Amino acid sequence: MTDMPKTDTPKNQYQMRDPRSLYPKPPFDTPMQPEPGLTSEMTPQPDHGETSYKGLGRMQGRRALITGGDSGIGRAVAIAFAREGAHVVINYLPAEQSDADSLLQDLRAEGLKIDAIPGDLMDEAFCSGLVDDAAGLMGGIDVLVNNAGKQVTQASIRDLTTEQFDATYKTNVYAMFWLSKAALPRMKPGASIINVTSIQGYDPSPNLLDYASTKFAILGFTKALAGQVAKDGIRVNAVAPGPFWTPLQPSQGQPAEKLAKFGEQTPLGRPGQPAEIAPSFVFLATQESGYMTGETIGVTGGNPIH
């Protein structure tokens, strides 16, 4: 068996590297956190493409609203979109303000266009207002990324309260519905909605009953909405992450014993880093995917979606 080299973090996303050793592998010793979790408290720190993502101008002039954009996958997508030339607005919970502030500071220092609107997506009126406010800041909306998610592990359905079940569905499914409904009248032909489902929507873990079922719902919503709005020249697609190293995991998303081995079960032997999934969103937001709608891209470290 060939020995794997040590971690070899890329200087840019175009350098060829061994995917097995590109980023840290388990075991991990990151501290557990209260919800919603902060990037700054994670060990090792996630890579969102801060130093590696190089834009090519593929989103010049586009206007994108990204929920959950302060950290994790949303943060990586915000970095990628902004460096591709888009004006970005991120949404996040007020408790995540420090993560949002660091992102805004970094991207604005590069001269990129990014704004932030904090608030709770479980509120329908806030979702409608978020779309209005984001469109006001950017002069319209061309791309909506429904990324924000709630995930809290529970070993048994007996431990899963109605309050948690309701909050998970409102965050993961209802908000997607409210935001899409509000955004579509503002979208022109060529616009794109990108929803974030999960491998959990195909291969659910027993401890993630409510979360996994929302991710299955997102798959159906994506296909049905794509069929509705294709006649308007608007595309709706989804991305299905596998295990990704984000604050969602240590903030009650995984039990401590599973967190230590997080990503170990994938063929690549490690969790994905947010920087590794952001290009999928760029692809779905641009004309490079112009003949795709109602589809899902799996980014899972080798575990198939089916």
DSSP state of 56: -
SS3 at position 96: helix
Confidence of residue 235 (pLDDT cuts 50, 70, 90): very high
Question: Catalytic one among 92, 169, 202, 211?
Answer: 211
CA angle, 132 then 182 then 80, to 5°:
75
Name residues whose C-beta falls within 8 Å of residue 69's C-beta, 6 or more positions apart in sequence. 75, 77, 78, 88, 89, 90, 91, 92, 100, 103, 116, 145, 147
List pLDDT tens digits, range 97-151: 999 999 999 999 999 999 999 999 999 999 999 999 999 999 999 999 999 999 9
Superfamily per CATH, domain 59-299: NAD(P)-binding Rossmann-like Domain (3.40.50.720)
Pair 76, 84: CB distance under 8 Å: no
% of residues, the chain, pLDDT over 90? 91
- Respond yes or no: is residue 202 known to be catalytic: no
Whose tokens are 């990503």? That residue is 263
pLDDT given at position 3 = 43
pLDDT for 14 equals: 81
DSSP 106-120: HHHHTT--EEEEE--
**Measuring CA to CA, which residue among 58, 20, 27 is closest to residue 43?**
27
Identify whether the C-beta of residue 74 lies closer than 8 Å to the C-beta of residue 67. yes
Nearest to 147 by CA among 79, 77, 227: 77
The larger pLDDT score, comparing residue 96 to residue 6, is at 96
Domains of the chain, by residue range, sit at 59-299
Per the rule left: phi > 0, alpha: psi between -120 and 50, beta: everything else, 210 is: alpha
pLDDT tens digits along 255-294 = 988 999 999 999 999 999 999 999 999 999 999 999 999 9
Encoded tokens for 238:
């989804």
